[in-house]
Structure formats: C-alpha cells, structure tokens
Structure 1
Amino acid sequence: MPKVSTLTLLKVIIVFGVLLIIGGHTLLVTDSFRDYFGIYSFMIGAVCIAVGLIMSLPTKIYLTILLMRNEGKDTKY
C-alpha cells in the first residue's frame, strides 16, 4: 500500500469538501429533486453543504499554518 502524505490527504479533503458544497447547492436549486423528495430535499442539500464546510475549513487553516512554518524555515536573516 503506497504511503500518502498528510499534505496530499488534506488537499483531497479540501477538494471533496468543495465538491460537497457545490453538490449541495445544486440539490437545493434543482426542481426535479425538490419535487421528488419534498421538504427532505432541503435537509439533504443543507447537510451536504454543512459537511462540505466542515471538511474544507479546518484543513485550510492547517495548510496555512504549514505554509507559514515552511516559509519561516526558508527565510535566513
């Protein structure tokens, strides 16, 4: 089994989170989905958006901290 770095895993989680946000928005604006599921379509769309936000925000913060840490090591005064 190939070893996956933490950075690659976090990037995949960010992309999956953004895709969930886009998918949740698409579910909310699609009329046929709303007609089929009724009020539950709003719940499903909102859950997709919420999970996408949860997955994408903390990883961005971690990647920013990691980038700042690496920039501090590269800078020599």
Structure 2
Amino acid sequence: MSEEKTIKVLKICILIGICLLLLGHYLISYTNISQTMGVTGMVLSAACIALGLIFSLPTKMYLTFLLVTRENRQAQCLQQAKSQNTKPEQKKS
C-alpha cells in the first residue's frame, strides 16, 4: 500500500474514532439510555467510547510518525539539491 493510501486510511480511522467518542458521550450525557436500559445502556455507551479511543489514538501517533518522516525526507532532498547547486567551481588554468 502506498504512503498516500495509508495516510488516507489512517485519517478515515481517526474520523471514525472521533465519531464513536462523540456518540458515546452523547449517549451518556444527553439521552436517558442508562435509565431506560440500565447497565446494558451504560456498557453500550462505554463500548462506543472505548472503540473510539482504540480507533483514534494509535492512528494519530502512527500518522504523526509518517508525516514527520516524510518531512525529514523532503528536507534532506532539498538540502542535497542545495548543496549540489552551491559547489564551488574550479578555475581553468
């Protein structure tokens, strides 16, 4: 899988994780799911939050790692190109 596809998949995973976190928070805070469903409602809300964390946190760390390594590679390429263009020329005698 190319780096661009990997980054796109990771961004989608982060979005899914954030949506699950928000859903779990909404279920706990604004609905009466814990009162109507009891323990099952609380477990459902907690599961949404847990899955949201599972989706969002590790992918953020990996995505940050990929972006930093890409930025370092680009900086090295620019530095090499700059050093090749600024080499002193030898005088012809």
TM-score under structure 2 length normalisation = 0.72
Count of residue correspondences: 74
> 1:42: how far off?
1.1
Match status 1:14 vs 2:17: no
The separation in 2 between residues aligned to 1:31 and 1:68, in whole angstroms, is 41
- Indicate the residue corresponding to 1:44 in structure 2: 44
The separation in 1 between residues aligned to 2:30 and 2:37, in whole angstroms, is 11
The separation in 2 between residues aligned to 1:38 and 1:16, in whole angstroms, is 26
**Cα–Cα, structure 1 residues 30 and 39, in superposed 2: closer, same or farther, change >3 Å?**
farther
> 1:14: how far off?
0.3
The separation in 2 between residues aligned to 1:58 and 1:34, in whole angstroms, is 29
Structure 1 residues not aligned, in runs of 5+: none
> 1:41: how far off?
1.2
8 Å CA contact 2:23–2:48 kept in 1: the answer is: yes
Tell which has more relative contact order, 1 or 2 (C-alpha 8 A, sep 6+): 1
The separation in 1 between residues aligned to 2:45 and 2:62, in whole angstroms, is 27
**Cα–Cα, structure 1 residues 39 and 30, in superposed 2: closer, same or farther, change >3 Å?**
farther
> 1:33: how far off?
2.1
Aligned sequence identity (%):
38
- Indicate the residue corresponding to 2:60 in structure 1: 60
